[in-house]
Amino acid sequence: MASIGVNMAKKETAQLTGECERPIGTQSGGMDQAISVMAQSGFAELIDFNPIRATDVQLPAGGTFVIAHSFAESQKAVTAAVNYNNRVVECRLAATVLGIKLGMEPQEAICSVKTLSDVEGLCISFACTRGLSDPVLAVEER
């Protein structure tokens, strides 16, 4: 961006680059773009969206990541609807069902739940009402 005289914050750049795949039909969250822009040497990054943000996670001494190129091409403009977007829809449906299971009215869940983050608070509340510290165990019990 600097090469064309544009100065943008890393968060804005990550958001913009994540949105750039959508015109070809990919309902991308932008994880690849976010880590490419927001990475810090010596840290892994916990990436959250809506709004986009990154939290540094210190790597253990001697920890190493191996990044490899598979040389496999993905024709997202051709295959997005089958290979990628179906998974996005499945995750949205699962989050909606979980919201309903945890006490949301169906219409409210359908209108407001888009990601698992949208029902995370319900999971925690549900666990607390059952005296459990792990929301996953609480939901499994239900």
Residue 97 is predicted with a pLDDT of: 93
Neighbours of 104 (CB within 10 A): 19
Confidence at residue 1, expressed as pLDDT on a 0 to 100 scale: 66
DSSP three-state, residue 47: strand
Q: Under a CB-based contact definition with an 8 Å cutoff, are residues 26 and 85 in contact?
A: yes
pLDDT of residue 136: 74
Answering whether pTM is above 0.75, one says no
32 is annotated as an active-site residue = yes
Going residue by residue through the chain (142 aa), what tens digit of pLDDT does each one get? 677 888 888 888 888 887 887 777 777 768 888 888 888 888 888 888 878 888 999 888 887 777 888 898 877 777 766 777 788 888 889 999 999 988 899 999 999 998 888 888 888 888 888 888 777 776 666 5
Which pLDDT score, from 0 to 100, does residue 88 have?
Answer: 82
Structure confidence at residue 139 (pLDDT): 66
Cα–Cα distance measured from residue 95 to residue 31, given in angstroms and rounded to the nearest whole number: 19
